[in-house]
Amino acid sequence: MSATITSPRSVDLKLDRRRFASLAASAGLSTLMLPAALRPARAAGGDLQVFEWSGYELPEFHQAYVDQHGDSPAFSMFGELEEALQKLRGGYTTDVTHPCTSSIGRWADAGVIRPVDTSRLVHWNDIFPSMREIKALHYGDDVIGVPVDWGNSSILYRSDLVEPMENSYNLFLDERYAGKMAFFDSADAFAQVCGLILGVHPFTMDENEIAEAADIMRRIHGNLRFYWTDPTQIEQALAAGEIVLSYSWNGSAKNLKAQGLDVSFMDPQEGILTWVCCLALGNGDPAMQDLAYDFINAWTSPEAGKNLIEMYGYGHSNTKAFPLVARETLDELGIADPDAMMAKGTFIEEMAPETREAVIRIFDDVKSGL
């Protein structure tokens, strides 16, 4: 299969499959429980095991591996980082997995991922320097993750139904839209936005700042219609007018614009949140290490990056991927100048364990109405 997308219909089919996999994961289904026609194939070059986000098993993201070994690796899927970590802690083994900078340190602490030898990475020097230098990816003297995909978290809103007073996360506090908002069901994400509204560094809040952020959480909670766990939930709700704004990833903005919906993805004055996810070596069979590096090298290629940008609207870590994409597409996605975007945004970092535990307790209290 060619890595180049040649038909709008082929893209639609792949997105449908991605949505199906995501919904399956959120329902607790593994790929082994899916019908045989929907299970990813095993690799002819060896049964490399990849524990991956739903929707990222498509060969367009590792075509060089398929070309080299004759088929895709064996995939199992997850839908959320904490779910994946707990499964690995419970003894599940994999050769490659896909954590994000918001939690990769916890994965390393748990001993479920291993250091990466960057000399074996063909495209390492083509990865954005700012991503290679993200603090969370450096564990002592070791590199523990290879950046591959990135995107932004912000407010996605119906431009025809919402008139922001300013480009700010304060829109979540605007009672004109009470009952017509949604938010990602994540304590980390909620705390990050509330910290930015408060004007403090959202990843290192002290006890007093967390208490102030909790007051903002309660005000936002009172304006929400629902919390979402899968982006299709907000895409459908925005399209139907059930909600008019939501915390969102930029991929949903791309999907709704493709449907002809009048939506805007805000660039807030407090700074857009930028998430970065990476491939890491798992705790599987050491004999699979050569295949693991082949897979990572395929994922970090410019061609894989082009497909990621065009198919899902997310950014890729390889600087050479962007010239392969039409400028019009990059402009539409707001990533024509990724260096500038990353410079003005806020990389999502990992909270200290005690901070995160406090945030989770407060988030649970807020959702319970306490």
Q: Mean of the per-residue pLDDT values for the chain?
A: 86
Residues 12-25: pLDDT tens digits? 333 333 343 343 33
What average pLDDT does range 196-225 have in this prediction? Answer: 95
Which of 198, 342, 191, 345 is closest to 268 using CA atoms? 345
pLDDT at residue 300 greater than cutoff 50:
yes
Identify any residues that bridge with 149 across adjacent strands, giving them in sequence order. Answer: 277, 316
The rounded Cα 73 to chain-centroid distance in angstroms is 21
pTM: 0.76
How far the first Cα of the chain sits from its last, in Å, is 53
Please give the structure tokens belonging to residue 247: 């915390």
pLDDT at residue 26 greater than cutoff 70:
no
pLDDT of residue 157: 98
CA separation for the pair 148, 112 (Å, rounded):
19
Rounded alpha-carbon distances, angstroms, from residue 256 to 24, 163, 227: 22, 18, 19
Banded pLDDT at 250 (limits 50, 70, 90): confident
3-state DSSP helix/strand/coil % of the chain, to nearest 5 = 50, 15, 35
Rounded alpha-carbon distances, angstroms, from residue 180 to 171, 212, 223, 232: 12, 24, 7, 16
What average pLDDT does range 129-140 have in this prediction? Answer: 92
What average pLDDT does range 45-54 have in this prediction? Answer: 84
* Residue for token pair 């907000």: 234
Rounded alpha-carbon distances, angstroms, from residue 364 to 56, 72, 226, 237: 30, 40, 14, 24
pLDDT of residue 39: 36
β-strand pairing of 273-281 with 263-265: unpaired
- Report which listed range, 18-22, 122-126, 132-136, is most confident: 122-126
Banded pLDDT at 46 (limits 50, 70, 90): low
How many residues are present in the chain?
A: 370
Residues 175-204: pLDDT tens digits? 999 999 999 998 889 999 999 999 999 999
pLDDT at residue 302 greater than cutoff 90:
yes
3-state secondary structure of 52: strand
Residues 304-340: pLDDT tens digits? 999 999 998 899 999 999 999 999 989 888 788 888 8
Which of 161, 155, 330, 336 is closest to 262 using CA atoms? 161
pLDDT of residue 81: 86
Q: At what angle do helices 187-198 and 353-367 cross, to 10 degrees?
A: 100
What average pLDDT does range 219-237 have in this prediction? Answer: 95
Banded pLDDT at 227 (limits 50, 70, 90): very high
Which is higher by pLDDT, 247 or 18?
247
Residues 87-101: pLDDT tens digits? 999 999 999 999 999
Which is higher by pLDDT, 348 or 74?
74
